Structures are given as C-alpha cells and as structure tokens.
Amino acid sequence: MSAANQIEVPPIRVALLGCGTVGSEIVRLLTEQADDIAARSGAPVELVGIAVRRADRHRDVPAELLTTDAAGLVTRDDVDVVVEVVGGIEPTRQWLLAALNAGKPVVTANKALLAEHQGDLFAAADASGADLYFEAAVAGAIPLLRPLRESLAGDRITRVMGIVNGTTNFILSAMDETGAGYAETLQEASRLGYAEADPTADVDGYDAAAKAAILASLAFHTRVTMSDVYREGIAAVTPADVAAARGLGRTIKLLAICERVLDADGTESVAVRVHPAMIPRSHPLASVGGAFNAVFVEAEAAGQLMFYGQGAGGAPTASAVLGDLVAVARNRVIGGRGPRESAYADLAVRPIAQASTRYHISLDVADRAGVLAAVAAVFAEHEVSIAGVRQEGRPQDASLVVVTHSAEDAALRSTVDKIAGLPFVNEVVSVMRVEGEDS
C-alpha cells in the first residue's frame, strides 16, 4: 500500500495559476512525487484546476483541469490552496487577494507583486488567517526566505548581500572572461537562452531590486517596497571597467545589498541598493559564475552565512514552490499557521545619498606635474579619504585610478562632479562602488 493510501484525511485541493516554465514543472513534480508529498504533508495534495492564457497550448496536462478563468478558479468551493506562477502585478494581485480574502492559503513565486504589494497581501492574509508563502520569489531553489523568516528569527541580521539575478551574472561573468563589450555579450546570452527576449527587467536591475525589497523586509522586520530600493543596472559597465577591476585583483558583479545602519545619534535605519560593484577576486561571491545565485547573510550571533545554488529555472523554482506547498498543507492538517508579516521594527529607509561605500574612480588626465596633487585636494575638500592611487603615463596623457575609503554617496558625487570640471581632466572614465573589502 502506498503512503498516500494510508492517509485517511481529506485531500488538499490545489488550484495552479500558470503552467509555463515553472508551472509545468510543478505539475510534473506533484504528479511524480504524489505519494511522498502526501506522506510529508499528512494529506494527499491534489491538483483540481490549472489556469492558463491559451488552453490549446497545454496538451500535456489533463484537459479537464484547464481553464482560462483564473478569477473563477480561485474562488471555486473545491479549491483549498492557490499556487500562483503567472507573474505580473494585475490581474494577479486581484486573484491572490480574492483567494486570501476567502481564507485560502497562497503560495507564489511572484517577486514583482510582493515587492510592490506585500502590505495588501499580508493584510488580507491576516484578516482571514490564511498562509502566504513565497520562497520561490527570491533566488529560485535556494532556501533563503525561510532561514530569514524562521531560522534567524532569534538573531539580529545586520547585512544581506548577494547575487540574485542569473542573467546579469551570466553577462558580467562572460565579460570578465572574454573582455567583450556589454551589447555583444547580451546578444550571446540571448542566443544561449540566458536572457529574455526583453531583458530590461534583468539588465536594468528591476528584478534584483524587487528581490532586495523582499530580503530587506524580512531581514529587518520593516516593510520595504520597490520604490525604496536604489537601482542601477549593468548596461553602463564597459570593458574598460572590467579590465580596471581585473588589474586591481577585482571582478564586477551586480549586487543586491541590504544593510542595517546605525547613525551617530543611535538611530537605526536600513539602506537597500542594487548596483554593479567591484569585489575582490578572493571574495566568495567572485567565484559565483554563470546563472548561479549566492547570498551572504550576516547576523550578530550567527556570524556569516552563505546561501548558494540555482537561482532560476523551471525545476529549481518548482522545488521551492513545492516546499511551500507542503508547509501550507502541513499547517492545514494540524490547524496551524505559518509566519505572518513581521514589520514591527518599521525602520526608516535611507536615501542613497547617505549610503556609504568605497569607490573606484578612473580618470583620463593630462600627463603633467601637479595633477595628482590637485585631484587629491578635491577629494580632501569633500572629506572623501583616499585609500590608494595608481597613475600610468601614456604617450599623450595619463590614466589615474583612485580608490577611496568608505564615503557617502553624496560626497563622492560632488567630488567627481568637481574633478570632471578640472581643466587637466580629459574624462571621468568610470566610477564604480567597491564592496567586500574593509572600509
């Protein structure tokens, strides 16, 4: 007798919204592992409906399960749990609110929706007592949100920093390996299937920013939304930046950084940003190549933790969704509830102008006496402390690279603006943040 047959509790009836890259893998795993999932959940988990946009495209799933009416499916009486892998904000938000308002637990992989509307969704979940799980929304298969929400709930997280977008990591890794330019490498990534037809959400940093908002909210018990996240994409990264990084033993990664900041007066706030940054080649994040994701979490008692694995893809993402589905099913069987929103700390979010980090500034200057001293004077005037300088003469001009100690973004920008206007500065070639080194 199979494990499922031994269970005499009623099945947990699941509506699946979306049957694309992730949804089709959820269907496959739910079918192939039905007995194991039932045994682990304490009840059989049964698919009772699948909402898609074009029913004729899904000949591999039972036709009687398919519908194009997602709104109707979520409120059907024979649906206990809603799993959403459609994506987008509307009408998905309406479907999930309808499910939660009706007391039906929701499992979603939708980072864009959570990063904008976590407040509405959690409020609806709280009002009806329904679960809201979203492990798959950040870093695909990597168990990361559950450690933040549960395992580290007794600790104080100070920093979360990581590579959370596989497309941009693939492009930057390839640029580092080949020395090729951004546009050419993006084309190659598209050809190999690592970039979407419209790569904007990835390359402009929106995807990583949505994930950063979710991570910061959980890490700092504060509601952080997409508009709170400072964002820069990778389109402006040049082969010269990559070569400059390499020359200094560094590599460039698109990082999502969420920090708890303590002001001089003891006030705490959070800073959340996504931008390309140079990191030392010896840093553990430097060796995260291709489409992989990795996230560093620093907590006061736990110290440093690193989470690494496949951050996207149908099966890896489905794995995270199914983990959540089993958690929801277990909660239903025992009559409990998973963690609710924890936003009690309600810390202020700092504007980027007040964020501090180290910078690498590369200048093209006239090769003559006094240039270095004049540039250094501008740094001193803005109280930006210099950690190192490298100057190389060329036939007509010179390259001057300055690496700073930790400086506020606003001070650094004023410094660079003034330097750009100096008569002997031909060009500010690049300004890039440096992470993963002592300040």
What is the distance between the alpha carbons of residues 317 and 21, in angstroms, rounded to a whole number?
9
Q: What is the DSSP letter of 150?
A: I
Site for ligand NAP in 53-72 (CB under 6 A): 53-54, 57, 70
* Complex with ligand NAP: residue 51 or 152, whichever CB lies closer: 51
Kindly state whether residue 175 participates in binding ligand NAP, applying the rule CB under 6 A.
no
Is 111 catalytic? The answer is no
Kindly state whether residue 317 participates in binding ligand NAP, applying the rule CB under 6 A.
yes
What minimum distance in Å lies between the beta carbon of 322 and ligand NAP?
Answer: 13
What minimum distance in Å lies between the beta carbon of 198 and ligand NAP?
Answer: 12
The reply to whether omega before 199 is within 30° of 0 (cis) is no
Pairing label, strands 106-108, 132-133: parallel
Residue pair 272/212 in contact (Cβ under 8 Å)? The answer is: yes
Q: Which of 104, 211, 253, 418 is catalytic?
A: 211
Among 48, 61, 86, 234, binds ligand NAP (CB under 6 A): 86
What minimum distance in Å lies between the beta carbon of 284 and ligand NAP?
Answer: 23
Binding segment toward ligand NAP, per CB under 6 A, in 17-25, 180-188, 189-197, 404-412:
17-25
Among 312, 328, 349, 431, binds ligand NAP (CB under 6 A): 312
Kindly state whether residue 140 participates in binding ligand NAP, applying the rule CB under 6 A.
yes
Residue pair 252/237 in contact (Cβ under 8 Å)? The answer is: yes
Binding segment toward ligand NAP, per CB under 6 A, in 309-317, 348-356, 359-367, 409-417:
309-317
Q: How far is CA 60 from CA 34, 214, 348, in A?
A: 18, 34, 49
What is the distance between the alpha carbons of residues 308 and 143, in angstroms, rounded to a whole number?
9
Residue pair 158/298 in contact (Cβ under 8 Å)? The answer is: yes
Longest CA span, the chain: 87
Among 12, 14, 15, 22, binds ligand NAP (CB under 6 A): 22
Pairing label, strands 348-349, 268-280: parallel
Q: Where on the chain is the footprint of ligand NAP (CB under 6 A)?
A: 18-23, 51-54, 57, 70, 85-87, 109-111, 136, 140, 312-313, 317
